[in-house]
Chain A
Amino acid sequence: GAVVSQHPSWVICKSGTSVKIECRSLDFQATTMFWYRQFPKQSLMLMATSNEGSKATYEQGVEKDKFLINHASLTLSTLTVTSAHPEDSSFYICSARKGTAGTEAFFGQGTRLTVV
């Protein structure tokens, strides 16, 4: 149990276009989902936290108009990178937690975004 599926696993897009990444909890309902960004050989950088039906809470320095997060149901959250630029190229990872604060979160397999 506790499987999180992230799609796509990789995507290449042209500069100026938008890209949507999906994160689904396959066998549990996720009370909270998290979106991270990871640069090579670095740890995870939290971008935003979202609860189902609520607006996402963005970390300081993360542009909410650029990184649109929608958590429409207890099993699906999406991250849309709008007007992507080469500097947005990165590894994006989602995680989902099924319990309350203090319980573990499970991660998707990540999405490698390359903006050309």
Chain B
Amino acid sequence: EDQVTQSPEALRLQEGESSSLNCSYTVSGLRGLFWYRQDPGKGPEFLFTLYSAGEEKEKERLKATLTKKESFLHITAPKPEDSATYLCAVQARGQNFVFGPGTRLSVLP
């Protein structure tokens, strides 16, 4: 059974304090790993897609990396507006996305 876990469950950072969020997965035949950002009361916003181990993608203060067992979302010098829940999802042989529980990030000014 495909599974996705994320850690930590919640993270509080000071503005400018860089950190990483982890997404560990167990799937048969990974077709893609996806990162989303979700603000309270809104639908998730697409951030990145990663397909193969070693792949990296960047967008502003965010960088996503992928290995054969996990993905990291690195946040460099975060700002309060980066506060949100970050969701990781995988897609394996089926067409459905399997979502992790998310990491609630709070960036304090």
Residues of A that sit less than 8 Å from B by CB? 2, 4, 6, 32, 34, 41-44, 46, 49, 91, 93, 95, 101-110, 112
Most buried by A among B32, B96, B102: B96
For residue B22, CB closer than 8 A to chain A, the reply is no
Contact between B43 and A107 (Cβ–Cβ < 8 Å)?
Answer: yes
Total number of B residues with any Cβ neighbor in A under 8 Å: 23
For residue B99, CB closer than 8 A to chain A, the reply is yes
Contact between B34 and A110 (Cβ–Cβ < 8 Å)?
Answer: no
Assuming the contacts A34-B97, A49-B96, A104-B32, asked whether A44 and B87 have C-beta atoms less than 8 A apart, the reply is yes
Across-interface contacts of B104 in A (CB, < 8 A)? 41
Contact between A102 and B51 (Cβ–Cβ < 8 Å)?
Answer: yes
Contact between A108 and B96 (Cβ–Cβ < 8 Å)?
Answer: no
B31, B42, B101: the one within 8 Å of A43 (CB): B101
Q: Specify the chain A residue showing the minimal Cβ separation from B88.
A: A43
For residue B45, CB closer than 8 A to chain A, the reply is yes
Most buried by B among A32, A43, A101, A106: A43
CA distance A91 to B51 in the complex (A): 30
Q: Which are the 7 A-B pairs with shortest beta-carbon distances? A: A107-B43, A102-B31, A102-B32, A110-B43, A101-B95, A43-B101, A107-B44
CA distance A32 to B44 in the complex (A): 17
Contact between B91 and A101 (Cβ–Cβ < 8 Å)?
Answer: yes
The 21 listed contacts between A and B (C-beta, < 8 Å) are A2-B46, A6-B43, A32-B95, A34-B96, A43-B100, A44-B44, A46-B96, A46-B97, A93-B44, A101-B95, A102-B31, A102-B32, A102-B51, A103-B32, A103-B49, A104-B46, A107-B36, A107-B43, A107-B45, A109-B43, A110-B41
B42, B51, B94, B99: the one within 8 Å of A44 (CB): B99
A32, A41, A42, A107: the one within 8 Å of B46 (CB): A107
